Structure 1
Amino acid sequence: MIAELREQFPDLPGSILWKTGLLFRGVCFTGALAEAVAEGAAPNFWPYRRRDARGQLELIPVPYLFRLEGGAVARVRVDDRSALDVRRDAAGFGLWSGSERLCAIEFVRAHAWQDHRTRDGSTPSAAGVEQLGDMLVVNVAPGCEYFTVRDEEGDARRCRFCAYGRFDQRSVALGQARGRVPLEPALLARLEEVLRVAAEAGEARHVYLTGGSLLDPADEARRYLPLVAAARRAVGDRLRVTCGSGAVDPKDSARYRDAGADSCCYNLEVWDAETFRAVCPGKAAAVGRERWIAALLGAVEVFGRGNVGSAFVAGVEQPAPAPGMSTERMMASIVEGATFLLDHGVMPLYSPLWPVEGTPYGAGDGLAPERYLEIEREVYRLRAARRFPVPPWLICRGCSYMLLEVDFDHALGLAA
């Protein structure tokens, strides 16, 4: 794959191509991955699974994030069909493609605060806090209400590409109940304790607050306001706090700011209006595309240019249940949306469509790696023309493990 990408994108540096290979193809398992975890690399949520000589299932811890030469991070995805692998020699860990050593690699280590236990004995994850590189991701209410409401055909109104927001053992463990807006005071207290310890440890650089969606933007604000306030009390002025709720009206963006948020990120997911209705039926019904865009523009008035972001799923425009469009139309739509948002002070980010179990997408529906690079290159050109790099509060080299915007900015000279 790396050789093919080199031929198609001779203008792009190796660091971007290597990361693309890792994102789309992963690495086959080698013992070097297990060694890295034993030596302090932050472990992946999913261990490597294989059968031993007796047919017994083995679960082998592997790292969560690679750190490539230059500081870029990428998720560790183990796939024994990959032509890439990790080897270790006297020079350390390296990423290899067959007989070619592509680059030196390291692994992101677990932060010291991961060992903290709260006053009631809870782990950081039980308080809704996870380490994503140098970002503290807070998700104390992962269940999404769009999974609980049905359309006329009986289908859940969830975003079609998402399988993450079901109410399951995660939401139960965090005390989240369907339809209840306020968060439990005990949960907020645990969260505040963990964030305070993490901020004092000095390893993290920013905090991102996220969670499952509610069915009313006003309820969204009611849930997130105490979360923002708790995060700000915990980290003081040491870390940046970004509110990644669903879209809220400008007056509630102002309340987020006044409660302690520095920035916000309201994810529209897709620019094309017809695709938005088909792929994000919950967001379309509960908020609507025009109101969502107005919320983003209103947030710029509150937080300022470059302090508002919106994430998109590139490639969702083509396969069903979207109405479908040609590659040329998809590219034009993405460029149209990125141009509009950048010109209005909003930073768009694009992740590729990843078909996952529990969604209508099959393996062949995912965005091709070369198409993703084309999209990222086009949107980079828009940022470069406006001298508008991806702001590090939104995502940086230390946490951009499944995106390429920051890597383009650094490699091609636009870094903030």
Structure 2
Amino acid sequence: MTSPNRTALVEELMGRFPQVPPEAVIKEDLLRGGMAFDDSALSGGDDGDVKPKSYFIFSFDHRTLPELGAAALNRPPEEIVLTGGSYGLRRTVVSVRVNPDSPYVVRAGEDGALGLYLDGTRIADVGLPPMPDYYRHTLANGKSVMEVAPTIQWGYLVYLTVFRVCQYFGAKEECQYCDINHNWRQHKAAGRPYTGVKPVEEVLEALEIIDRHDTAGASKAYTLTGGSITSQVGGRDEADFYGHYAKAIEERFPGRWIGKVVAQALPRDDVQRFHDYGISIYHPNFEVWDRRLFELYCPGKERYVGRDEWHRRILDSTEVFGARNVIPNFVAGVEMAEPFGFTSVDEAINSTAEGLRFFMSNGVVPRFTTWCPEPTTPLGKANPQGAPLEYHIRLLETYRATLEEYGLTSPPGYGPAGPGRAVFSVSSFMDSLSADEPVAAGAE
């Protein structure tokens, strides 16, 4: 992603797809290819004034920690917010994915103000997330709130990765784009606190601190997630393991947050347990639509469940949660990963659109994460440049058109929709949907 003509490509795509907000074009390019940081833009670490990157589940970086140098020792921010600049950007929240070779660089200008530079030209003002007050408090055992219950999406979502590894392990079972197991290993090797299984008591204590000090009520939802469980953890199967956290949270903080769980597509009785424990939204992620690619990219899920059964269980779960509250994710971009993926954007979009129509025709609104080609994964190693930006822009166009075709709206639990309003930071699908009222360019 080091081409000096990146600006020309970005502007050409903005011109070809004027219905896609320019904010989304820039955001997708940052998410797919990463951003570099000048030392002046790093967070200052855990004790500074800027909220640092928490590595809440995956690395979401284009280099390993040892290869990041200063960006690993003096952490980059969790997210950045873009406004103004040459494209008149409305407020746009972007998850930070570090790539030292990116043509996008965050640095201070001559006036000391941070900006986003593309090919050496400043294209936007950059805001950094302030260190939340609750991050300045520790649990009784000395652990930080950020380690136990980090918040993302500009504070909207408490992200509870309570199981930091995945039982789909090794080349024959791990999803080929996923670095959850490596991310755990690299943090342990670096001597960073990175708890494998978070005790329920610690989660509740961290949430109490957040609830007490989040006086503005910025946090609106929590997500319970982690690696897949094919046997048991602590004597519990997957539904009971993640469910017993939900039960404890809902009993201690009834109605305080929207409760969400990311888990495998489980049988209906297990899904019912999630609902009974107090979960409001269920994310049984389908990962990639194409049958052949699912079998190749998700060998463990194909072996233990199978693609057709996975999809059947997703639809069955709507009878428990209601279609609107079943929101499966897919990893946007892996459709074009070499050597097995589609070789043209048209083919990739047609395949993904088929999946969107399948789910949306049943009232289910998927969402997606923009693929970050992490270097320790098989697909990341083979495709360090990720998918073409055109694929991501056309996906936004296709997603919105399909949503409108079936008379559906943005899914719940993701904050407001629309450019200038969205806080969902790991893809631009919420930035690309319509908002009730327009937002002025450069608005904070």
TM-score, scaled to structure 2? 0.78
Q: In structure 2, what is the equivalent of residue 61 of structure 1? A: 75
Q: In structure 1, what is the equivalent of residue 7 of structure 2? A: 2
Q: In structure 2, what is the equivalent of residue 34 of structure 1? A: 42
The 8 Å contact of residues 43 and 62 in structure 1, kept in 2 or not, is answered as yes
Measure how far apart 1:17 and its partner are.
2.4
Question: Are residues 71 and 306 of structure 1, via their aligned partners in 2, closer, same or farther at CA, if it must alter by over 3 Å?
Answer: farther
Of 365, 374, 399 in structure 1, the residue corresponding to residue 394 of structure 2 is 374
Residues of 2 paired with 1:410 and 1:89: CA distance? 37
Q: In structure 1, what is the equivalent of residue 442 of structure 2? A: none
Residues of 2 paired with 1:25 and 1:271: CA distance? 23
Q: Unaligned regions of 5+ residues in structure 1, if any?
A: 52-56, 149-154, 177-183
Q: Which amino acid aligns with 1:106?
A: G
Q: For residue 359 of structure 2, give the secondary structure of its aligned residue in structure 1.
A: helix
Measure how far apart 1:404 and its partner are.
1.0
The 8 Å contact of residues 244 and 265 in structure 1, kept in 2 or not, is answered as yes
Q: How does 1:99-178 map to 2 (within 5 A)?
A: 100-127=121-148, 129-133=149-153, 134=155, 135-147=157-169, 155-165=171-181, 168=185, 174=195, 176=197
Q: Which amino acid aligns with 1:14?
A: P
The 8 Å contact of residues 175 and 297 in structure 2, kept in 1 or not, is answered as yes
Question: Are residues 198 and 85 of structure 1, via their aligned partners in 2, closer, same or farther at CA, if it must alter by over 3 Å?
Answer: closer
Q: Which amino acid aligns with 2:315?
A: L
Q: How does 1:335-354 map to 2 (within 5 A)?
A: 335-354=353-372
Q: In structure 2, what is the equivalent of residue 400 of structure 1? A: 424
Q: In structure 2, what is the equivalent of residue 230 of structure 1? A: 248
The 8 Å contact of residues 277 and 284 in structure 1, kept in 2 or not, is answered as yes
* Worse-superposed segment, 95-104 or 330-339: 95-104
Q: In structure 2, what is the equivalent of residue 211 of structure 1? A: 226
Measure how far apart 1:25 and its partner are.
4.1
Measure how far apart 1:160 and its partner are.
1.0
The 8 Å contact of residues 42 and 64 in structure 1, kept in 2 or not, is answered as yes
| Cα shift readout 1:268-313 (whole Å, capped 9, x = no counterpart) | 1011122211111111111121221122112222222321111112
Question: Are residues 344 and 75 of structure 1, via their aligned partners in 2, closer, same or farther at CA, if it must alter by over 3 Å?
Answer: same
Measure how far apart 1:194 and its partner are.
0.9
Q: In structure 1, what is the equivalent of residue 203 of structure 2? A: 191
| Cα shift readout 1:181-231 (whole Å, capped 9, x = no counterpart) | xxx7xx111111111221332331210111110126992112111011122
Q: In structure 2, what is the equivalent of residue 21 of structure 1? A: 29
Question: Are residues 228 and 398 of structure 1, via their aligned partners in 2, closer, same or farther at CA, if it must alter by over 3 Å?
Answer: farther
Q: Which has the higher contact order (CA 8 A, sep 6+)?
A: 2
| Cα shift readout 1:130-157 (whole Å, capped 9, x = no counterpart) | 2213211101112111106xxxxxx431
* Worse-superposed segment, 338-347 or 381-390: 381-390
Residues of 1 paired with 2:43 and 2:230: CA distance? 46
Q: In structure 2, what is the equivalent of residue 386 of structure 1? A: 406
Residues of 2 paired with 1:298 and 1:25: CA distance? 36
Across the aligned residues of Structure 1 and Structure 2, the Cα RMSD in angstroms comes to: 3.3
Residues of 1 paired with 2:345 and 2:209: CA distance? 48
Q: For residue 86 of structure 1, give the secondary structure of its aligned residue in structure 2.
A: strand
Residues of 2 paired with 1:122 and 1:269: CA distance? 33
The 8 Å contact of residues 117 and 123 in structure 2, kept in 1 or not, is answered as yes
Residues of 2 paired with 1:35 and 1:245: CA distance? 32
Residues of 1 paired with 2:284 and 2:290: CA distance? 16
Residues of 1 paired with 2:246 and 2:120: CA distance? 50
Of 100, 123, 129 in structure 2, the residue corresponding to residue 79 of structure 1 is 100
Q: Which amino acid aligns with 1:117?
A: T
Q: For residue 365 of structure 2, give the secondary structure of its aligned residue in structure 1.
A: strand
* Worse-superposed segment, 278-287 or 388-397: 388-397
The 8 Å contact of residues 389 and 414 in structure 1, kept in 2 or not, is answered as no
Measure how far apart 1:333 and its partner are.
1.2
Residues of 2 paired with 1:80 and 1:323: CA distance? 25
Q: In structure 2, what is the equivalent of residue 269 of structure 1? A: 287
The 8 Å contact of residues 2 and 21 in structure 1, kept in 2 or not, is answered as no
Residues of 1 paired with 2:29 and 2:208: CA distance? 37
Residues of 2 paired with 1:48 and 1:168: CA distance? 15
Q: Does 1:305 align with 2:323?
A: yes
TM-score, scaled to structure 1? 0.83
Q: For residue 298 of structure 1, give the secondary structure of its aligned residue in structure 2.
A: helix
Question: Are residues 124 and 229 of structure 1, via their aligned partners in 2, closer, same or farther at CA, if it must alter by over 3 Å?
Answer: same
Measure how far apart 1:410 and its partner are.
4.4
Q: In structure 2, what is the equivalent of residue 181 of structure 1? A: none
Measure how far apart 1:399 and its partner are.
4.5
Total equivalences in the alignment: 394
Q: Which amino acid aligns with 1:316?
A: V
* Worse-superposed segment, 270-279 or 363-372: 363-372
Residues of 2 paired with 1:118 and 1:310: CA distance? 33
